[in-house]
Homo-oligomer: A and B are copies of this chain.
Amino acid sequence: MPQPLQGITVIDATHVMAGPFCTHLLRLLGARVIKIERPDEGDVMRHYDRDPKYAEMAPPFMAFNAGKESITLNFKSPQAIEIIQRLAAKSDVLIENYRPGVMNRLGLGYESLSAINPRLVYCSVTGFGQSGPLRDNPAYDHIVQGVCGVMELTGEPGSGPTKVGFPMIDTFTGYSAAFATMAALLQRAQSGRGQFIDVAMLDNALVLMSSMVVPFLTTGIAPEKVGNRGFNGSPTSDTFKASDMSLTLGANTQKQFEQLCSVLGCAEIAGDARFVNAAKRIANADALHAALMPHLRKKPAREWEKLLNAAGVPAGAVRSVPDVLAEPHLQTRNLVLPLTPSTQGHTGYGLGLGFRLQDNNLEQLGAPPLLGEHTRPVLSELGYSSNEIDALQQAGVV
C-alpha cells in the first residue's frame, strides 16, 4: 500500500528543532522532503556535537533529517528566490520557521507563493505565532518553558522554577505542525486549495499542558506543584525508594491500595483506621508514606514492578534513558531504527513514529543528507541546465 503522504513534496525551509522534526514526521509518512540550507554552514544543528565518524554531522541532526534531500540556497540572491518559486510551483507543502515577516520580506510569504500555486499548504512555525505583542520575540525551547508555566508546575512544592529535562516544546510543536499540515492536506483533497497555518510554540505548550490549563480557565483555581504525585492526587500514586532504585506507584483506587498492601506483605496497613478510605489516606499521607517505606525497601524496584503489575497495581521502576532503551520490550516495538549505513560504515540510529500504522511499516530511516548533496539533481528537475547550475554555484547562489 502507498504510504500516507506518498507523492507529496515538502519544501523544508526550517532549521534546528521544531521545523526539522515536523518535516521528519512527514518524511516518515512517505513525503519527499527537500531541505533548504545556507550554502556556508547549513542548518546549525548539523554542528551540535558533530562527529567526525559521521561526516561531521551531529547525531540528532542525522536522525531528524534522515531521508531528506539537501539543497543549498543563499536567500540574499534574487536567483535563489526564483528557485524557491519554481520549486513551490511543483510542491504541495512548505514549512518554514523563520521569525514572523522574514519570508514575506524575501518575497516568499504565503501570499506570493499561493499566487504561484494555490494548492500549496504553507506552514509557519514560530515561538509566539504571527500575531500579538510577543510575536517578534526570539524563542528557544527553554525560554518558552519559562513563559508557559511548566517551570512553576514541575518539582516539589516550594522548589524554584524547574525545567522539563528535554526540549519538550520543540518536539511537540514540530509534531503539531505535521498534524496541522495533514489536516490541511485533507481539506485540500476536498477544496482543491492550500492554506496558511500559523503554529506557535507557546500555544502548543499550553495545549500539551491542557489538563492543568483547562481546569484553571473554568474554575480560576491555580494549579500547583505536586512533586512526583500522579494526576489523581492519591498518596500511593507517587515515587518511593525500593531496595536499589526508585519506583513509581499508581495505587489510585481502594482495590489497588488494598492489593498494594497485600503484595508488600503489610495487609494490616490497609486495615489501619487512618488509611481506610481515599480521603483519610490524603489526610494522613505522611504517616502512610512512613508506614509503607520499610516494606518497599525490602525488594528491588524491578521485582516490585513485576509483582505489583501482576496484581493489578500500576508500578514502574524509575529508569534512565539507557535503562529503558535496553528493555527487551522495546525490541518488539519497531521504534528504534537504523539510518541507512553511512559511507564510512558507521551506523547511526533514530526513532520511528510513536505509533505503529499497520500499512506504514518502517525498517530504516534513510541517509542523512550531506550539505547540498541534492542541489544539482533538484535544480536539474526544475529545468536548470548543467551550465546554469555551474554558474549559480560560481555566483554563490547555491
Residues on B with C-beta less than 8 A from A17 are: 211, 231
CB within 8 A of A355: which of B6, B48, B59, B203? B203
Give the interface segment out of A71-79, A163-171, A287-295: A163-171
Please classify how large the interface on chain A is, using the bins under 10, 10 to 19, 20 to 34, 35 or more. 35 or more
Inter-chain contact A354/B250, CB cutoff 8 Å = no
Inter-chain contact A207/B351, CB cutoff 8 Å = yes
Closest to A246 in B: B161
Closest to A134 in B: B329
Offer 17 A-B interface pairs, CB within 8 angstroms, sorted by A: A4-B187, A51-B218, A60-B215, A129-B332, A133-B329, A137-B316, A142-B238, A146-B246, A161-B248, A165-B212, A165-B225, A168-B209, A186-B186, A195-B358, A202-B324, A207-B351, A223-B321
Contact A139 B176, CB 8 Å, known A129-B333, A149-B323, A360-B183: no
Residues on B with C-beta less than 8 A from A167 are: 211, 231
Contact A164 B175, CB 8 Å, known A137-B314, A354-B204: no
Residues on B with C-beta less than 8 A from A48 are: 232
Inter-chain contact A132/B232, CB cutoff 8 Å = no
Inter-chain contact A132/B330, CB cutoff 8 Å = yes
In the A-B complex, the 10 residue pairs with the closest CB atoms: A153-B165, A146-B248, A154-B165, A217-B349, A207-B354, A204-B354, A132-B332, A149-B321, A132-B329, A59-B218
Q: Smallest distance from the beta carbon of A11 to chain B beta carbons, Å?
A: 18
- CA separation between A2 and B21, bound complex, in Å? 29
Inter-chain contact A325/B216, CB cutoff 8 Å = yes
Count identical subunits in the complex: 2
CB within 8 A of A150: which of B166, B179, B237, B313? B166
Residues on B with C-beta less than 8 A from A140 are: 230-232, 237, 250, 252, 314
Residues on B with C-beta less than 8 A from A219 are: 51, 59
Q: Smallest distance from the beta carbon of A99 to chain B beta carbons, Å?
A: 10
Residues on B with C-beta less than 8 A from A193 are: 1, 359
Q: Is A112 located at the chain interface by the 8 A CB criterion?
A: no
- CA separation between A176 and B171, bound complex, in Å? 12
- CA separation between A138 and B259, bound complex, in Å? 14
Q: Is A148 located at the chain interface by the 8 A CB criterion?
A: yes
Residues on B with C-beta less than 8 A from A333 are: 129, 131-132, 200, 202-203
Contact with B along A217-238 (1 / 0, CB 8 A): 1110011011111111000011
